[in-house]
Amino acid sequence: MCLLDLPYFFRSLFSYVSATCFKKKLRATDTAVYSSVCLTSDLDVYLTHMNNARYLREIDLARIEFLLRTGIWRELRRRGGLIFTIANSVRYRRFVRTFSRYEIRTRIVYWDDVSIFFEFRFVSKADGFVRAIVYNRQQVVDCSADELMRTVVGGGGGDGADATEAAKTASEGAYQRPECPIEIHHWIQSNLMSSASLKAEIGDGDPL
Q: Which pLDDT tens digit goes with each residue over 104-119?
A: 999 999 999 999 999 9
Would you place residue 32 in the very low, low, confident or very high pLDDT band (cuts 50, 70, 90)?
very high
Reported as a single tens digit per residue, the pLDDT across 129-172 is 999 999 999 999 999 999 999 999 986 554 444 544 555 554 45
How many helices and strands (H and E) does the chain possess? 6, 5
CATH class entry, domain 20-154? alpha beta
> 172: which DSSP letter?
I
> 190: which DSSP letter?
H
Backbone conformation region of residue 127, classed left if phi is above 0, alpha if psi is from -120 to 50, else beta: alpha
Report the amino acid identity of residue 207. P
Calculated CA dihedral for residues 12, 83, 70, 101, nearest 10 degrees: 40
Backbone conformation region of residue 69, classed left if phi is above 0, alpha if psi is from -120 to 50, else beta: alpha
Does the global pTM surpass 0.85?
yes
pLDDT score at 6: 87
| Cα distance between residue 19 and residue 121, in whole Å | 19
pLDDT score at 4: 76
Determine contact, residues 62/18, Cβ cutoff 8 Å: no
- Give domain limits for the chain: 20-154
